[in-house]
């Protein structure tokens, strides 16, 4: 897709969905993530004391957290375990019936499916948890315990108050295949990153009316790249950075703060004590109209990952959390066969132009400048003078 083209809905690709025509579940939004952490106390300090999430319930084995806008029981579960990993990504569906639809859909695909009774995860009603075709543990639920929404409890808000869970970002070897899987679930593409030969490096898809509920990053996978929480405004993202600095925990800041080109959102990425990546994110844009255009970014555009052109740290491309199967065992990682974005990208990773046209213009301008300088050098030398190019360029003062 290119700028100005309508976002594809499920089934528009001219081929049957992987479930052979079986209806897909009506997904509302990304709802919660379950992470395995190795030190529950250290994780509590990070997510509650530093990031400011609210504890709904905690015991010796798990902590259930939510943000200030949220009235469902939790949007993040931290569960104690031996190996830090992703245990589940959960989507809320529109009605209780859609949980049954999800079960039929994934049984038709032939992937592992687990029916979960109400309370199997505290605060969550009957659910279906699957290993999706991409290798991720994914849950679908409707019913959940309601708790107090704290959006107007300003006496509890810190200066960096987090509003809600916004999206997931997963690492997959084949972005095009992953995009088809999510389009078959009714997700719509908002933005993507492409390169030569139409290679797809990343894709952003949504169900709620924002830029994304799920982002697909090309790389060795399946792995979890990050989960993201949204704040009310940009100042709250900056306060998270200030707070980490004040606590002498600035090493938790991996990338940013900055503004994305993709999504236009203001962001910072932080790493929890186990290395799980969390994005604090705000001010993306509305995507709910049916003819919303897809914005495709050139992988060579130096503003795609950071609007200001700041470098992307290598760890952001290379590192991600392992994922567990339904039995709780780490999934094997499959290498990406296509080029990695970090290996082919320019601009934000050390170059100064955004695309081939700009590069050609830069080269032409430099050639013209060199020719002009050489002609001036000949003229001035013939007149008995001398020329120091560095002095003329103003680089030696």
pLDDT digits (tens, 9 = 90+) for 293-304: 999 999 988 889
Are residues 23 and 101 in contact, defined by beta-carbon separation less than 8 angstroms? Answer: yes
| CA 204 remoteness from chain centre | 8
Q: Which of these ranges, 9-23, 301-315, 350-364, has the smallest mean pLDDT?
A: 350-364
> Residue range 83-111: average pLDDT?
98
The pLDDT of residue 347 is above 80: no
More confident residue, 208 or 3: 208
The pLDDT of residue 371 is above 70: no
| pLDDT of amino acid 18 | 54
| pLDDT of amino acid 348 | 43
> pLDDT by residue (tens digit) across 31-67?
999 999 999 999 999 999 999 999 999 999 999 999 9
337: left (phi over 0), alpha (psi -120 to 50) or beta: alpha
Share of the chain above pLDDT 70, in %: 82
SS3 311: coil
| pLDDT of amino acid 361 | 43
What is the 3 state secondary structure string of 169-212? EEEECCHHHHHHHHHCCCCEEEEEEECHHHCEEEEEEECCCCCC
| pLDDT of amino acid 25 | 98
| pLDDT of amino acid 390 | 31
- Res. 19 pLDDT band, cuts 50 70 90: low
| pLDDT of amino acid 377 | 42
| pLDDT of amino acid 224 | 98
Average pLDDT of the chain? Answer: 86
The pLDDT of residue 350 is above 70: no
Pairing label, strands 188-194, 293-298: parallel
* Residue 12 DSSP code: T
Are residues 185 and 27 in contact, defined by beta-carbon separation less than 8 angstroms? Answer: yes
| pLDDT of amino acid 296 | 94
Rounded Cα distance, 277 and 234, in Å: 19
Are residues 64 and 108 in contact, defined by beta-carbon separation less than 8 angstroms? Answer: no
Are residues 1 and 294 in contact, defined by beta-carbon separation less than 8 angstroms? Answer: yes
| pLDDT of amino acid 355 | 45
> Residue range 159-178: average pLDDT?
97
Q: What pTM was computed for the model?
A: 0.85
The pLDDT of residue 140 is above 90: yes
| pLDDT of amino acid 58 | 98
| pLDDT of amino acid 357 | 46
Are residues 23 and 103 in contact, defined by beta-carbon separation less than 8 angstroms? Answer: no
> pLDDT by residue (tens digit) across 185-197?
999 999 999 998 8
Q: What is the per-residue DSSP string for 65-110? A: EE-TT--BS-SEEEEE-SS-EEEEEEEEESSTHHHHHHHHHHHHHT
CA distances from 49 to 52, 136, 149, 156, 246 (A): 6, 30, 19, 12, 13
Entry field: residues in the chain = 397
Pairing label, strands 253-259, 266-271: antiparallel
More confident residue, 385 or 29: 29
| pLDDT of amino acid 344 | 80
| CA 45 remoteness from chain centre | 24
Rounded Cα distance, 200 and 178, in Å: 11
| pLDDT of amino acid 396 | 30
The pLDDT of residue 125 is above 50: yes
Q: Which of these ranges, 127-136, 297-306, 339-348, has the smallest mean pLDDT?
A: 339-348
Nearest partner of 228 among 162, 298, 273, 166, judged by Cα: 166
> pLDDT by residue (tens digit) across 232-264?
999 999 999 999 999 999 999 999 999 999 999
Alpha-helix residue ranges (DSSP H) falling in 208-313:
234-246
SS3 312: coil
Rounded Cα distance, 109 and 132, in Å: 9
Rounded Cα distance, 369 and 194, in Å: 33
Are residues 300 and 360 in contact, defined by beta-carbon separation less than 8 angstroms? Answer: no
> Residue range 101-109: average pLDDT?
98
């Amino acid at each position: 897709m290119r700028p100005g083209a309508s976002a594809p809905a499920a089934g528009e690709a001219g081929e049957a969905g992987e479930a052979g025509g079986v209806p897909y579940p009506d997904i509302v939004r990304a709802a919660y993530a379950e992470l395995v952490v190795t030190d529950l106390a250290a994780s509590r300090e990070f997510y509650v004391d530093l990031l400011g999430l609210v504890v709904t319930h905690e015991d010796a084995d798990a902590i259930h957290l939510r943000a200030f806008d949220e009235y469902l029981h939790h949007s993040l579960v931290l569960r104690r375990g031996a190996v830090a990993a992703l245990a589940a990504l959960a989507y809320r569906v529109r009605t209780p019936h859609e949980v049954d639809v999800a079960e039929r859909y994934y049984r038709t695909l032939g992937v592992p499916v687990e029916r979960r009774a109400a309370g199997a995860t505290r605060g969550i009603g009957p659910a279906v948890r699957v290993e999706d075709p991409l290798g991720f543990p994914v849950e679908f639920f409707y019913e959940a315990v309601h708790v107090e929404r704290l959006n107007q409890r300003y006496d509890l808000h810190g200066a960096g108050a987090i509003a809600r869970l916004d999206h997931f970002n997963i690492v997959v070897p084949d972005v095009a295949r992953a995009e088809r899987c999510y389009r078959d679930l009714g997700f719509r593409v908002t933005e993507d990153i492409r390169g030569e030969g139409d290679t797809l490096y990343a894709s952003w898809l949504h169900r709620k009316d924002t830029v994304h509920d799920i982002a697909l990053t090309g790389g060795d996978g399946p792995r979890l790249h990050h989960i993201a929480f949204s704040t009310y405004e940009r100042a709250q993202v900056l306060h998270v950075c200030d707070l980490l600095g004040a606590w002498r925990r600035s090493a938790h800041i991996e990338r940013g703060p900055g503004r994305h080109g993709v999504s236009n959102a203001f962001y910072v990425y932080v790493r929890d004590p186990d290395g799980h990546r969390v994005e604090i994110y705000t001010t993306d844009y509305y995507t709910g109209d049916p003819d919303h255009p897809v914005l495709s970014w050139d992988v060579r555009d130096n503003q795609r990952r950071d609007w200001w052109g700041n470098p992307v740290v290598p760890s952001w491309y290379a590192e991600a959390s392992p994922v567990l199967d339904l039995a709780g065992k780490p999934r094997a990682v499959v290498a990406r066969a296509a080029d990695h974005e970090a290996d082919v990208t320019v601009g934000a990773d050390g170059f100064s132009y955004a695309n081939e046209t700009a590069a050609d213009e830069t080269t032409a301008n430099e050639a013209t400048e060199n020719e002009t300088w050489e002609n001036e050098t000949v003229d001035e030398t013939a007149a008995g003078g001398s020329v120091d190019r560095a002095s003329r360029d103003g680089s030696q003062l």
